[in-house]
Amino acid sequence: MQQPHAMLSFSDHLYRRFLRAYPAEYRQGFSEEMAQVFRDLCREIYEREGLAGFLELWLTTLFDLIKTAIEERSKEAVEMTKEKFVRLSGWALMLAGATFMLGFAIGGQETSFGDPLGGPDAFYEYSQLVLVPLAMASFTVGMLGMRSRYGAQVGRFGRFSLAIGAIGGGIGFVGAIGLYGAQEDAGWFVWTLGMLLLLVGLLLFGISAVRKKPLPRWNALPLITGGFILLIPIMTLITGSDELSVPVLATIFLLIAAGFVTLGFVVQGDAREEMRAA
């Protein structure tokens, strides 16, 4: 009986080694129970069917272990990627708000409009050509990250709203690239359309956020930030002018930028706390 005992002991030791293929969290929850069940099963099979049954059990178990370990590792990788993406999206929202305001602040220093790139305004034009597309791309990443993080909590309407916002960010990026191209007017139109969709998407998501409270705090923030777009028609009606003054537009853009920066801070902090808790 000494030989079977040594073989079963080695089998248990080897099986525990193979369990290291699973993610650490999975091992903490199940490894002891799995090892106990496999050890008892090995003893039972060996006593009933001998070495042939024992080896058949090992082959079947090994195949299943490799398969499930790969599945669990894949799940862990997806979860880690999702968490990192959500954290990145928080930073992206903060970057978007900052570069959005900075881009138009620098662009406002131009002395002539409608001219090609270069000349005395080259610094302002090239700066805006870099900063505004970067802002729109960052807006898109931020909206997609919020959809990944809070989509399940806000339901179909909330997910749809964030998808609209992300699409708006992408459209705005295309328009921003063309701001100083041959079709500058078309670029401004496309950018304006994208920015409108972005803010409307955020506004609609804000309605769901106020109702279902997916954010750890300040759930009204998306509603307020997206709602700043309504200041443009309101101020147009108040002033009775088709075009708002630069200080008024700058104030509205500043409010939008500050709202996105704050929202990014909330999202990034929420993702960090979730990872810390996990």
- For residues 164 and 144, what is the distance between their CA atoms, to the nearest angstrom? 10
Q: CA 87, 260, 142: angle at the middle one, nearest 5?
A: 40
Q: What Cα–Cα distance (Å) separates residue 45 from each residue in 9, 49, 78, 119, 238?
A: 14, 6, 37, 86, 86
Question: Which whole number is the average pLDDT over 48-58?
Answer: 80
pLDDT at residue 45 tops 70: yes
Which DSSP string do the residues of 7-48 spell out, in sequence order?
HHHHHHHHHHHHGGGS-HHHHHHHHHHHHHHHHHHHHHHHHH
Q: Please tell me the pTM assigned to this model.
A: 0.67
The alpha carbon of residue 38 and the mean position of all alpha carbons in its chain are separated, in whole angstroms, by 41
- Enumerate the domain spans of the chain: 2-72, 79-277
Q: What is the pLDDT of residue 2?
A: 42
pLDDT digits (tens, 9 = 90+) for 104-159: 777 666 655 555 555 555 566 667 778 888 889 999 989 988 888 888 888 899 99
Non-local CB neighbours of 261 within 8 Å, separated by 6+ positions: 93, 94, 97, 98
Q: Kindly state the percentage of the chain with pLDDT values over 90.
A: 20
Answer with the residue of higher pLDDT: 41 or 262. 262
Burial class (CB in 10 A: 0-12, 13-18, 19+), 214: buried
Enter the tokens of residue 106: 């620098």
Reported as a pLDDT band with limits 50, 70 and 90, residue 231 is confident
- 143, 157 contact by CB (below 8 A): no
